Structure 1
Amino acid sequence: MTLTTVLFDADGVIQRPTVDWRSTLASYVPPGRPAEEFFLDLMAAEQPSLVGKGDFRTAMAEVLARWESTAELDQVLDLWHRFAADDTVVAMIQELRAAGISCHLATNQQPYRRAIMHDERQYGAWFDQTFYSCDLGVAKPDPAYFKAILTAIDRPAGEVLFVDDNAANIEGAREAGLHAEQYDLDTGPAALRTLLTSHGLPLG
């Protein structure tokens, strides 16, 4: 079946951090406390808000209090702003759209980050539709996430390619019947172009 649609993940595919998250977070941990455990606690606290449950800011504040961190909440939240899209990848997506291929954003994000991406940085202008896990109420790698998108775009799974940097997400997409390929932005946009053209997608 000919591909008509591509779903793109955000972090690691379209955009990358502009700061070293781990070293920055480590500076917020009191002396003698394990920085890696602090990082994992923050990530765990974020999980409910990725599917639209709970308040992200409240969850982060609770972690800071639990760890007796001297960092201000806004200082930590600022890290979620520290990312940049790759212009070459964005241009590639526009090239596909101009050739008649539907392109959609498919990303796990909580409402705070969604507002940055969608409202402040206007990611919606780059895609036919955008699908944030916090809006769908389900997150990758759950196959239900992909099935919800298929319903929204009204396309059979066999016409859709999903690109993500996470192996578990790739497996979830394949379980839902999509074509899926793993790609990491650190390998360079040229590798993404090769991947897409290998599926017969119209890129020069």
Structure 2
Amino acid sequence: MAVDAVIFDIGNVLIEWQPETYYDRVYGEDRRREMFAEVDLHGMNDEVDRGADFRDTIYATAEQYPHFRREIRDWHDNWIELAQPVIPYSVSLLRALRSKGVPVYALTNFGIGSFAYAETQYPFLAEFDRRFISGHMGVIKPDAGIYRQLETEIEIRPERLLFTDDKADNIAMAETRGWQTHLFEGPQGWADRLVDEGLLTPAEAAA
């Protein structure tokens, strides 16, 4: 089946998102393990991604765990250090697709405030034909509703969409809706898939 549009996740596809790496570096692995075992930080982040206030949500969580207050506040105060580095090869593939006139969309779990900040640091986030940001949509992957909203608004048949994401459950939900999918495990594999689909030539997809 031909592909009419390509959809990118952002975290761990275009920008590395491994908060544990930051905490290991700044506070040490033992402290990080202790905190992550006690505090559901990723659950906290899910609330931000559903549209809760970026700062208020994180600061409120920090007050619930005063012995980790400084570390938890870092999730907001030093957020850009958690969301880095860029994956340059993936960005070049995004740009190569756009240069060929292929519609390219983002479908990402991202908060309203955190995405607004990310845009100031990563200009390529403005280069999509359209961004579907969970914080603005009020629902996160893999809930079927976020996929349904995208389908409704872009009006492209699901089977003609090609979606890449690093999480298997997000991919699985897209497949139930008839989307073509690629589990992102690195930019080279994604480049190869784009070539296989005839969207890019090997030269266009080269690192």
- Partner in structure 1 of residue 194 of structure 2: 196
Q: Partners of 1:100 and 1:172 in 2: how far apart?
A: 27
Q: Are the equivalent residues in 1 in contact too, given 2:158–2:179 (CA < 8 A)?
A: yes
Aligned residue number for residue 94 of structure 1: 95
The percentage of counterpart residues that share the same residue type is 24
Contact 1:50/1:133 (CA < 8 Å) preserved in 2? yes
Deviation at 1:119, TM superposition (A): 4.7
State the 1:49 CA deviation. Answer: 2.5
Alpha-carbon spacing, 1:97–1:107, altered in 2? closer, same or farther (3 Å) = same
Structure 2 gap ranges (5+): 203-207
Contact 1:165 1:184 in 2 (8 A): yes
TM-score, length-scaled by structure 2: 0.83
Listed as ranges, the matches of 1:177-196 within 5 Å are: 177-185=178-186, 189-196=187-194
1:10-68 C-alpha deviation (Å, 9 max, x unpaired): 111111148713425756x989x932224x4222222223122x323222112212211
- What's the counterpart of residue 138 of structure 1? 139
- Greater CA drift, 16-25 or 43-52: 16-25
| CA distance in structure 2 between the aligned counterparts of 1:175 and 1:18, rounded to whole angstroms | 28
Aligned residues: 198
Question: Per the alignment, do residues 197 and 43 of structure 1 end up closer, same or farther by CA in structure 2, a change over 3 Å counting?
Answer: same
Closer/same/farther in 2, CA of residues 153 and 130 from structure 1, 3 Å limit: same
Gaps of 5+ in 1: none
SS state at 1:195 partner? helix
Residue 129 (structure 1) shift: 0.9
Residue equivalent to 2:64: 66
Greater shift in the superposed pair: 92-101 or 166-175: 92-101
1:190 shift after superposition: 2.0
User: What's the TM-score once normalised by structure 1's chain length?
Assistant: 0.84
Letter paired with 1:58:
D
Quote the residue 2:111 is aligned against.
110
Deviation larger for 176-185 or 153-162? 176-185
Structure 1 or 2: more helix by fraction: 2
Cα distance, 1:151 vs structure 2: 1.5
Tell me the distance in 2 between the aligned counterparts of 1:76 and 1:139.
19
Distance 2:182 2:41 in 1: 29
Q: Give the aligned residue type for 1:56.
A: F
Rounded to whole Å, the distance in 1 between the matches of 2:201 and 2:138 is 34
